[in-house]
Amino acid sequence: MNYKDLHIGSCISKKINENNIEMNRIKSLFKLPEHEILNMYEEEELPTGLLLKWSKFLEYDFFRLYSQHLILYSLEKGSNKNQKSKVLPNFRKKVYTQELIDFILDLLRTGVKTKQDIITDYRIPKATLHKWVLKYGHESNN
């Protein structure tokens, strides 16, 4: 999975193929002609309401893909530290999916990145990375 350059339409298309879902079911759910549904598969981004509908229909959290992107490629922490008022809740528990952990450990295992690279580039805490290596056994010499 390429978390840096997400193409949500192709992710939806893959999930539909994976689940062998017929076009008639999709057309009846969305109440759209086939060509408009096929056009969604080509879209890099979709409106939130549509993405929510796809997530429910396919029983897959497509929003989690964006969360993983934010974890890996968001702005540096502290860039807006002076903001005191918090309107939206702060979510930190279980932000790392197994797929993301596997992605990070695969980078480490294949030598694409060192532990220090991962800590620096993706701002994964050193202790967290160490726990993943111990728990999932993807040790490398870096």
Predicted confidence (pLDDT) per residue in 7-21, tens digit? 999 999 999 999 999
- The 10s digit of each residue's pLDDT in 24-35 is 999 999 999 999
Contact 110/104 with Cβ under 8 angstroms?
Answer: no
Query: For residue 79, is it within any domain?
Result: no
For the cut 70, the answer to whether the pLDDT of residue 86 exceeds it is: no
pLDDT in tens, 59-77: 999 888 888 888 888 766 5
Angle 115-122/63-73 helices, nearest 10 degrees?
Answer: 110
**CA 30 – CA 54 distance, rounded (Å):** 9
47-52: long-range contacts at Cβ-Cβ below 8 A with a sequence spacing of 24 or more? Answer: 51/8
Shared-domain flag, residues 62 and 93:
no
Give me 136's structure tokens: 């999932």
- Provide the percentage of residues in the chain whose pLDDT is more than 90: 49
Q: Do 48 and 98 belong to one domain?
A: no
110-131 pLDDT, tens digit per residue, is: 999 999 999 888 888 899 999 9
Packing angle of the helix pair 115-122, 98-110 (nearest 10 deg) = 140
Number of domains into which the chain is organized: 2
Q: Are residues 90 and 142 in the same domain?
A: yes
